[in-house]
Structure 1
Amino acid sequence: MATQVTGDGGAGRRGFSTRQLHERAAGAAPTARATPIYLTAGFEFDEYEQAAAHFGEGRGYAYTRIGNPTVEAVEHTLAALEGGSQALLLSSGQAATSVALLSLLESGQHVVSSTHIYEGTRGLLRDNLSRLGIGTTFIDDIDDVDAWEAAIRPETRALFAESISNAANRLVDIPALSDVARRHGIPLVIDNTFATPYLVRPIEQGADVVVHSASKFLAGHGSVLGGAIVDSGRFDAERSGHLFPHLIAPGRGGLPSIAERTGGDARIAYARESVAPRLGPTPSPLNAFLIGQGIETLSLRVERQSANALAVAQWLDGRPEVASVDYVGLTTHPDHALAGALLPDGFGSVFSFTLRADGDGDAAGTARRFVEALEVFTHMTHLGDVRSLVLHPASTSHAFLSPDERAALGVHDGTLRVSIGIEDVTDLIGDLAQALSVAADVGVAVVA
């Protein structure tokens, strides 16, 4: 049926289809205590000149891929918690790492990385960035600061490591590495996903850039994906500008360079203006809101998770069915002394342990029986959840590495990674105990 046209043009006389789109209450929005969700692709300009001011000077909001109030509220909180100058929220942790590195590196350049990193990051460095002409040297003995310095070349533009590694729970001496990076005028980039800013703040330890998978501990509920970059704001154009000419080069049309416009925030400004919006890993404002809600209870969760993890690790360490426990909170861990200095509020909640093989020498079979017998632990690819999780790295996250490569990372056929949640610790230990009993009960003796 055709819409009746009144010819009057007044708001009250507009057609039904027009009114259902445009009728809304006038006036300022009320002030909400919780962060409002601006679930919109774009924003209206109040006046003609406002559009030009946004595109010319970056004022206000125009399009959520470029900026959104919900996203910016979470960025502000993250920067404050990490002790950084600015944060940039992205659609995933992998996006955060990619954008951070691509903001620093170009073809012909080089990064020095810890061997003990997330396999997705290793793949990014070995397979994807290498295709762009960016090389990587991996450091196996990560506590050897001289090895890090020796690996730096004239074309090196970043050092990369994890504060607490996956899966052997290794630590790096952040202050020592930051000294190395500073001597060469290049940034130290730390993935702080496992530790969270509650346990360690790498920027306060001298790091320059921090990345997170916000899907993990920051959100905490396992409902959304997200990632974040936090920058120290300490970019020194006079000292390091020649290494990063894209940050000091004049803008198009003779405009000031990013460094001239933003000073010490040049790195993250470049990531925000030139890398993230063009590659497009934009976070949903709804996801940003849910990450922000999770952050509000971060300290409570991580404190409980760390306490539970220490109790579980100590219990596993005394079990005859368990060959080893890689948890930095144990005095037997090679990095325990360093953990005392870097992690005064807890040792984190993600670690691995290795089951002994059964009488037939089948450690993988023992691990499978163990996982299938668990009732409280959830079997899934995730970590940092309020729920306790378990995964068998050799058949999942590390499946495409050679046996020697897996062994170098502390991943064996009987190795299991756990992410300890906030459940009652007696229930967690009880679940592990009954699963160990089932795993060993196959009619053969467990090999001591």
Structure 2
Amino acid sequence: MTDRKLGFDTLQVHAGTEPDPTTGARQVPIYQTTSYVFKDAAHAARLFNLEEVGYIYSRLTNPTVMALANRICALEGGAGAVTCSSGHAAQIMALFPLMMPGCNVVASTRLYGGTLTQFSQTFKRFGWSAKFVDFDDFDAVRDAIDDNTRAIFCETIANPGGVISDLDALGAIAKSAGLPLIVDNTTATPYLCNPIKHGATLVVHSTTKYLTGNGTVTGGCVVDSGTFDWATSGKFPSLSEPEPAYHGLDFVDTFGPAAFTFHSIAIGLRDLGMTMNPQAAHYTLMGIETLSLRMQKHVQNAREIASWLEGDDRIEAVTYAGLPSSPYYDLQTRICPRGAGALFTVALKGGYQACVDTVAKLELFSHVANLGDTRSLVIHPASTTHSQLTEAELIKAGAGPNVLRLSIGIEDANDLIADLDAALS
């Protein structure tokens, strides 16, 4: 491909792919294979010793899956990327090279409910822990960092409330502390925000959501900026010290800016096995081809519907950061200048029961545990995705008992408003 800097719309169609060299197939083929024939014993040995890049076994690498990783990497402006089986897998993959028993992550209180559970409960099984902090309070973030902290974690546009994280400020805090900033960019997508430009070290995605865009397959991705020095502090020995499984190979010395990505494939996927299947990668590649077009419509609809809801007497509050009344409006114009996404919450004056009744009456909005689909989706977090939290924790997470989460699709906005109006009656 040309060395000329390409625009987003071109990259989402072409990045990471070329016509198939054997058949000339223009769309990326689904390489539905577990293994690959080696040229000879020496070739196999070089691959296994990481002396040559190539395909060994599809738990590690696969041409279809690698094409997807390369495309997402190009859209995010990273140095390397690795895909995996889900967004939750991507979070573990991002932290796995960084953490040891006794280490902690400083994390935002405003995270997807499943992430809160993973960080607060499942981490304990690894000997890890998480410190949850209001990321609007930068002093609190600084104070939470200690000698055992290995990363700072947030979402660009927080799920469920649509709150915008000040990535510039958080990136500066992370840099000052010598720590990587990990940003979940699922709800913004690289079309609305490039976290690496704002100081992020690693970007994670649930590709299940907007990148695929059609609710067909699960997947995850970790993009490395390639800019973090993993060696200086001595806090990341998995990357900066000899690796016994590869005859003492040092990932930083050997692979430089690609150290994290190679480690994630050669050790993360090898041992954790959270592999994306090639058919899922194919669906996501096709979805990404229309990402910018879909996101423009998502944002347009979300603005219109959030404005209508804000003016309705049955509504207590709307959290959409794209509304001029939002306390995050100015931040949104800096962090996500193309729009505040299409995920937000709405609090109903009728409380918990009104939420349950409204969900039951909606017809165009599908009641599902997903977001980022072309279809509009709704869920009541307090009784589903965030149900494991206490009421105080629900409110901190922006998912109180009277709150519905809306994921606005690309249908006709007037039809969606009519559906909401009828259900709220």
Farther off after superposition, 128-137 or 75-84: 128-137
* Aligned counterpart, 1:293: 286
Structure 2 gaps, min length 5: 1-20
* Aligned counterpart, 1:17: none
User: In percent, how many aligned pairs have the same letter?
Assistant: 42
* Aligned counterpart, 2:322: 329
Q: CA deviation at 1:238?
A: 4.8
1:111 matches 2:105: yes
CA contact 1:212–1:229 (8 Å) conserved in 2: yes
1:128 matches 2:122: yes
Q: CA deviation at 1:315?
A: 0.2
Q: CA deviation at 1:254?
A: 5.2
CA contact 1:90–1:227 (8 Å) conserved in 2: yes
* Aligned counterpart, 1:248: 240
* Aligned counterpart, 1:379: 367
* Aligned counterpart, 2:228: 235
| Aligned-partner Cα distance in 1 for 2:248–2:232 | 22
Q: In structure 2, which of residues 90, 96, 101 is the aligned counterpart of residue 102 of structure 1?
A: 96
- Deviating above 6 A after TM superposition, structure 1's stretches of 4 or more consecutive aligned residues are none
CA contact 2:162–2:340 (8 Å) conserved in 1: no
Give the aligned residue type for 1:288: A
Q: CA deviation at 1:59?
A: 3.0
| Aligned-partner Cα distance in 1 for 2:115–2:403 | 21
Check 1:402–1:374 CA distance in 2 against 1; reply closer, same or farther (3 A cut). same
Q: CA deviation at 1:88?
A: 0.5
Q: CA deviation at 1:234?
A: 1.2
Q: CA deviation at 1:237?
A: 4.2
Q: In structure 1, which of residues 39, 56, 62 is the aligned counterpart of residue 32 of structure 2?
A: 39
Farther off after superposition, 77-86 or 266-275: 266-275
1:85 matches 2:85: no
* Aligned counterpart, 2:4: none
1:399 matches 2:387: yes
Paired residues in the alignment total 403
CA contact 2:231–2:239 (8 Å) conserved in 1: no
Structure exhibiting the larger radius of gyration computed from Cα positions: 1
Give the aligned residue type for 2:157: I
* Aligned counterpart, 1:259: 252
* Aligned counterpart, 1:367: 355
| Aligned-partner Cα distance in 2 for 1:54–1:273 | 10
Q: CA deviation at 1:156?
A: 0.8
1:279 matches 2:272: yes
Q: Map residues 181-200 of structure 1 onto 2, 5 A cutoff.
A: 181-200=174-193
Q: In structure 1, which of residues 66, 70, 75 is the aligned counterpart of residue 69 of structure 2?
A: 75
Give the aligned residue type for 1:100: A
Structure 1 gaps, min length 5: 1-27, 358-362, 438-448
Q: CA deviation at 1:371?
A: 1.3
Q: In structure 1, which of residues 280, 298, 310 is the aligned counterpart of residue 303 of structure 2?
A: 310
Give the aligned residue type for 1:250: P
* Aligned counterpart, 1:319: 312
Q: Output one character per residue of 1:280-337: Cα deviation in whole Å (capped at 9) or x when no partner.
A: 0111001001111111111110110011001000000000011110111112222111
| Aligned-partner Cα distance in 2 for 1:431–1:414 | 19
CA contact 1:366–1:414 (8 Å) conserved in 2: yes
Give the aligned residue type for 1:131: R
CA contact 1:185–1:239 (8 Å) conserved in 2: no
CA contact 2:110–2:398 (8 Å) conserved in 1: no
| Aligned-partner Cα distance in 2 for 1:412–1:256 | 50
Farther off after superposition, 95-104 or 381-390: 95-104
CA contact 1:234–1:265 (8 Å) conserved in 2: no
Q: Output one character per residue of 1:325-352: Cα deviation in whole Å (capped at 9) or x when no partner.
A: 0111112222111111111111100111
Check 1:391–1:254 CA distance in 2 against 1; reply closer, same or farther (3 A cut). closer
**TM-score, normalised to structure 2's length?**
0.92
Q: CA deviation at 1:205?
A: 1.0
Q: Output one character per residue of 1:46-96: Cα deviation in whole Å (capped at 9) or x when no partner.
A: 334322222132432121011111111111110000010111010000000
**SS at 2:81 equivalent:** strand
* Aligned counterpart, 1:161: 154
Q: CA deviation at 1:157?
A: 0.6
Give the aligned residue type for 2:241: A
Q: Map residues 171-182 of structure 1 onto 2, 5 A cutoff.
A: 171-182=164-175
**SS at 2:232 equivalent:** helix
| Aligned-partner Cα distance in 1 for 2:73–2:281 | 14
CA contact 1:235–1:267 (8 Å) conserved in 2: no
Check 1:46–1:239 CA distance in 2 against 1; reply closer, same or farther (3 A cut). closer
Q: Output one character per residue of 1:18-72: Cα deviation in whole Å (capped at 9) or x when no partner.
A: xxxxxxxxxx721111111101111122334322222132432121011111111
Q: CA deviation at 1:172?
A: 1.4
Give the aligned residue type for 2:347: T
Q: Map residues 418-433 of structure 1 onto 2, 5 A cutoff.
A: 418-433=406-421
| Aligned-partner Cα distance in 2 for 1:239–1:394 | 44
| Aligned-partner Cα distance in 1 for 2:63–2:226 | 22
| Aligned-partner Cα distance in 2 for 1:227–1:251 | 26
**SS at 1:323 equivalent:** strand
| Aligned-partner Cα distance in 1 for 2:167–2:229 | 20
Q: Output one character per residue of 1:165-223: Cα deviation in whole Å (capped at 9) or x when no partner.
A: 01222121111111111112110000000000000010111100000000000000000
Check 1:43–1:176 CA distance in 2 against 1; reply closer, same or farther (3 A cut). same
Q: CA deviation at 1:416?
A: 0.7
CA contact 2:111–2:397 (8 Å) conserved in 1: no
CA contact 1:388–1:422 (8 Å) conserved in 2: yes
* Aligned counterpart, 1:20: none
